Structure 1
Amino acid sequence: MSTVLSVRGLSKSFGGIRAVDDVSFDLAQGELLALIGPNGAGKSTCFNMMTGHLKPDGGTVSLNGTPITGLKPRRIWRLGVGRTFQITATYASMTVVENVQMALISHHRRVFALRPYAHRLYRDEALELLDLVGMAAQADRACAVLAYGDLKRLELAIALAHAPGLLLMDEPTAGMAPGERAALMQLVADIVAQRQLSVLFTEHDMDTVFAHAHRVMVLNRGRLIAKGPVAHIRADPEVQQVYLGGGTLFNALDTSTDA
């Protein structure tokens, strides 16, 4: 499979703190790749450099072979990079479908044609995206009354409105109940398979990571300490030390009460 995202020697410091230190990896088309690590490991800093929100001190980021290092976030988004955030950002006063319509209006460069018919623009397309994420039945509800898990599904539909080839998901299941986490990540995995979308996601819940990721990378204090298939990461002694003080991730999963 072709390489969609290529990162080489990515580095970033804040004062004397080396937040990201010489990180390199590739992400293939149709791959679901997890980036895990303790709080403060550098995961969000990596994401922010890939999307142009932070300028790297060193290293390069390429999308489909084209360098994107240092480009502005909107330019990177236009090249086909979508993102979801730890905390959902939707228009609470709008309906579910209107939120997706706004994303489609931006995608189709119709922002300056909003008045007075914005509510008519791309509604059918928006409903198709909502159907994809299991939210079509709630299309005309106000976002303000949605459950948190439904907001996460809506955010995914908004991200997909731009038809990205690469999707970066920063802790997509944060704040969700175990059943909701499993359902959302299964939905993402299904979309990856259907659309050959490439997804890089950060996550703290190991059950979610091991159940859905094709490969896993582990960051600790800004450096990649391990990367490979799930079984390799589970058995890696350094990863076990970082997460469990020497216990095993197999045992952690066996005794988990998560659904």
Structure 2
Amino acid sequence: MSTEVSSQPLLSVRGLSKAFGGVLAVQGVDFDLAAGEMLALIGPNGAGKSTTFNLINGQLRADAGSVRLQGQELCGLAPRHIWRLGVGRTFQIAETFGSLTVAENVQMALLSRDRRLWSPWRRATHYQRAEALALLQRVGLADQAERPCAALAYGDVKRVELAMAVAHNPCLLLMDEPTAGTAPGERHALMALTRGLAREAGMGVLFTEHSMDVVFGYADRVLVLARGQTVADGAPESVRADARVQALYLGRQAAEPLKAEDAA
């Protein structure tokens, strides 16, 4: 697996903190993400993964800290503004329009990118059609363009969502449990595709994931959280061997090795 990425951080997170009442969900989290790099954010339930993810995306407002994308502060901005700055997003449960065709789903994303309003009484069938088909070609779905999204296998729905997420050429892609609900072959195909897109476009990818085979197979780096704090941050093999990860994340004895096929 190639791991050649830019040495300059695309995303820089410093001192990120968030409390809910008296519960400190995220406590002073620091990390960088380079262009073209794939960073997995993992940890046990309640570790602060989702909170960290949503602080970066603007769905939650941080109590303290900084999130900078190419030097620009994101904290305090609404999700739509963060999206405009070049941050794409996919969701644990794929967010597509089942009654629309595959191509029309991507065209909806292009309408949003171009800030176009469209009458509900008009079909957008011809809007940026060539670009929509080119995006579908990149994710291997050009031959499915005219099928309703609801008729696709779930792994293909995830590919449609990926095409929608990269429709505005983001520099950073946030993926929340990208392989949830997919079969083993589908999840490996999806992550290989994502890695190819990241390398091709120099796009940083931050993803949360429970499947350890995906984490160790596709992440350039792994960031482990526990109780809102960073436990480990490094290359997959060093994280796999880290005694703190063994004890805190998996609840194992430090001497018991973490296997790539293990799932949280």
Q: Distance in 1 between matches of 2:10 and 2:146?
A: 36
Q: Retained in 2: the 8 A contact 1:42–1:220?
A: yes
Structure 2 residues without counterparts, runs of 5 or longer: 1-5
From 89, 96, 106, the equivalent of 1:90 is 96
Q: Residues 84-233 of structure 1 correspond to what in structure 2 (within 5 A)?
A: 84-112=90-118, 116=122, 118-233=124-239
Q: Retained in 2: the 8 A contact 1:100–1:161?
A: yes
Q: Retained in 1: the 8 A contact 2:39–2:222?
A: yes
Q: Retained in 2: the 8 A contact 1:166–1:199?
A: yes
Mark the CA change 1:103 to 1:249 in structure 2 (over 3 Å): closer, same or farther. farther
Aligned to 2:3: none
Q: Retained in 2: the 8 A contact 1:234–1:248?
A: no
Q: Distance in 2 between matches of 1:120 and 1:52?
A: 33
Shift of 1:116: 2.9
Task: Name whichever of 117-126 and 212-221 sits farther off.
Answer: 117-126
Q: Distance in 1 between matches of 2:256 and 2:216?
A: 10
Aligned to 2:42: 36
Letter in 2 for 1:174: A
Letter in 2 for 1:70: G
Q: Distance in 2 between matches of 1:114 and 1:82?
A: 25
Shift of 1:44: 1.1
Q: Distance in 2 between matches of 1:10 and 1:175?
A: 30
Shift of 1:112: 4.4
Q: Retained in 2: the 8 A contact 1:50–1:61?
A: yes
Write out the 4+ residue segments of structure 1 that deviate beyond 3 Å after TM superposition: 112-115, 247-251
Shift of 1:179: 1.3
From 19, 22, 29, the equivalent of 1:23 is 29
Aligned to 1:11: 17
Aligned to 1:243: 250
Sequence identity of aligned pairs in percent? 56
Letter in 1 for 2:234: G
**Structure 2 residue 111 is matched with structure 1 residue 69:** no
Question: What is the aligned-residue RMSD (CA, Å)?
Answer: 1.7
Shift of 1:74: 0.6
Mark the CA change 1:248 to 1:132 in structure 2 (over 3 Å): closer, same or farther. farther
Q: Distance in 2 between matches of 1:63 and 1:84?
A: 18
Aligned residue-pair number: 256
Q: Retained in 2: the 8 A contact 1:235–1:248?
A: no
Give the TM-score of the pair, scaled to structure 1. Answer: 0.94
Shift of 1:252: 2.4
Mark the CA change 1:29 to 1:257 in structure 2 (over 3 Å): closer, same or farther. closer
Letter in 1 for 2:61: K
Q: Retained in 1: the 8 A contact 2:240–2:258?
A: no
Q: Retained in 1: the 8 A contact 2:244–2:254?
A: no
